[in-house]
Amino acid sequence: MIDTKTHYDNVTRAWKLIMGNNLHYGYFESPDNTLEQATNNLIDKLASYGRLSASSKILDVGCGIGNPAFHLYKKYKSPILGISISPIGIEIALKKAKELNLENEVKFLVADALDNRLPDNSFDSAWVMESSHLMPDKAKLCTENYRVLKPNGQLLLCDLILIDELNIQQIYTYRRELAMLDKAFGKAKMETLGAYRRNLESAGFRSIQTYDISENTSATLHHWKDNSLNNKDELSLLFPEGMYQSFLASCDILISVFTNKILGYGIVTAMK
């Protein structure tokens, strides 16, 4: 199994053809929403639980190629630092910041979310958008974000979740499907909303709130499958060998596990 950094370096450019400029799920307020509208909706949905303003200093943890950060800056004028372990993702984000003339307002850095080396008490908000499922140590993720937040700072997180803890029989039953998802999306460790709550409480967070938004996000998977089929030739060249078929199969697996309420999508907010 390749590590998360190498995986994202391998697939970032291909994923843009499948997922659009926002490399995350969409929040479909209406079945008529395009994927681009829905992915922007998810940014706005997560932000709606925050207290973002021009005076808010935001740490974007697992920033991908930077589009959520640019979206947030356009709306709130908040200074933002995005971090990712993928040099290719950061390279794309820095290039766009330069094109938009936002190099001083929206910055990006190659850094590990579990050990970011940033100063204590330095951010008003920690924004963790669909990156935590790829981080094996959720407790460390929570303590690291707690450390860099200012007093009364806020964590805003959204991601894939387990609806309920998997029992031994379910782990055995879904073992092939879970292995295929790891191959297509990177080694993941999904948690329930309850597990996120426990880790945040242990880190010292308070006023923890959780929201299940699975019903509004599941349509994303059908869009990804359609885009994969419509861009087969180009994707076959961009993906490492065998990855195209793995991704296509994973779309069907995700549709199934969402339908059967094994996996879903959630939002978590908390205060320092």
H or E, element range at 91: helix 87-99
Q: What φ, ψ does residue 213 adopt, rounded to 5°?
A: -120, 30
Q: How confident is the model at residue 9 (pLDDT cuts 50, 70, 90)?
A: low
pLDDT for res 184: 79
pLDDT for res 4: 54
CATH of 4-271, one of 3.40.50.970, 3.40.50.150, 3.10.129.10, 3.90.550.10: 3.40.50.150
Average pLDDT, the chain: 93
Q: Which of 174-178, 201-205, 216-220 has the lowest mean pLDDT?
A: 174-178
**Statement: residue 208 has pLDDT above 50:** yes
pLDDT for res 201: 98
Mean per-residue pLDDT, 117-130: 98
H or E, element range at 157: strand 149-162
Neighbouring residues of 226: CB distance < 8 A, sequence distance ≥ 6: none
Q: By three-state DSSP, how is residue 48 classified? A: coil
pLDDT for res 2: 47
Mean per-residue pLDDT, 61-72: 95
Q: How confident is the model at residue 156 (pLDDT cuts 50, 70, 90)?
A: very high
pTM: 0.92
DSSP one-letter string for 112-143: BTTB--PPTT-EEEEEEES-GGG-S-HHHHHH
Please state the domain extents for the chain: 4-271
C-alpha pair distances (Å), 181 with each of 107, 245, 269: 31, 12, 27
